[in-house]
Amino acid sequence: MVNWWTGQQPVEVFAFGALNYYGPDGELNPKKEDGRHCATCEVKPDCNYYMRWSSRSKEVHVVDDHIGAVGTVDAQAPYSEYRSDACIYDSQIDIEDTYSVNVKYSGGALLTYSVNFSLPYEGYRLAINGTKGRIESMEYHSSGRVPFPVPVQTIDYFPLFGSKETIHVVHRQGGHGGGDPTLLEDIFLGPDPKRPYDILSGSLDGAYSVGTGEAVWKSAQENRPIRIEDVLTSN
């Protein structure tokens, strides 16, 4: 999204990463034992992550949550041994769940990015500073499961000189905030000729997006800046 918003390509990345929530040393791990699955786990009543949706007398499985596919684990990956209800505290889990990232872009933009994979809500907080002012927005993915009011997304524009302006986002039906139906239309009907800007991503856009993620991981592992060009051209 940042690549698209700025209209620039990422050039260099520096990142720190840590495994703070999951894996065998997770603070909330009820028991250090490998090979557990939510569907058959004997210690799940002591697991805060599992019990946030369940009670002692009733188990609630949320479709898109880590524990949500318990009832359909056999259908998740018929060609592998992967199960989506595998324990988040297994010792095989060694990928960072916390990142702090800096990205330099081809046109001079600088990105400061923070991501955590265990938070009270899913979504993002966005702030863009430019020569004409600042844009702020917040977007939640609540799906009705967050136990507190979820604000409707707006975009706040703070001009460098002038009064604040609040832009109310148009909300449409469909997944990903109404983006999925538009995406399908563009794929199967072709780009909307009335839209004055490009919106579809091509293979190059995908390469830069994936390459940035790879550079983040590599930088955190090696404690050095990583150039996107080196990631995309390495064997």
**Range scoring the smallest mean pLDDT among 2-6, 126-130, 162-166, 219-223:** 2-6
Locate all alpha helices (DSSP H) within 58-164, ordered by sequence: 73-76
Q: Tell me the C-alpha to C-alpha distance, in Å, between residue 162 and each of 132, 134, 136, 157, 159.
A: 10, 12, 16, 10, 6
Q: Are 138 and 146 in contact (CB under 8 A)?
A: no
- pLDDT, one tens digit per residue, over 111-160 is 999 999 998 888 899 999 999 999 999 988 755 566 778 788 899 999 99
Confidence of residue 206 (pLDDT cuts 50, 70, 90): very high
Contacts of 78 (CB under 8 A, 6+ apart): none
Class (C level, CATH) for 2-19+95-228: alpha beta
pLDDT for residue 77: 57
Q: CA 56 → CA 2, 52, 61, 63, 175, distances in Å? A: 43, 11, 14, 20, 32
Position 145 scores a pLDDT of 65
Residue 49 CB burial class (10 angstroms; 0-12, 13-18, ≥19): buried
Let me know: does 155 contact 137? Beta carbons within 8 Å: yes
* Average pLDDT of the chain to the nearest whole number: 87
Residue extents of the structural domains in the chain:
2-19+95-228, 22-94
What is the distance between the alpha carbons of residues 127 and 201, in angstroms, rounded to a whole number?
Answer: 23
Residue 98, classed as helix, strand or coil, is strand
How do residues 86-103 score in pLDDT, each as one tens digit? 999 999 999 999 999 999
At 131, which amino acid appears? T
- DSSP character string of 186-228: HHHH-S-TT-SS-----HHHHHHHHHHHHHHHHHHHHTS-EEH
The pTM (predicted TM-score) of the whole model is 0.83
Q: Distances in Å between the alpha carbon of 119 and those of 3, 8, 14, 190?
A: 25, 30, 23, 38
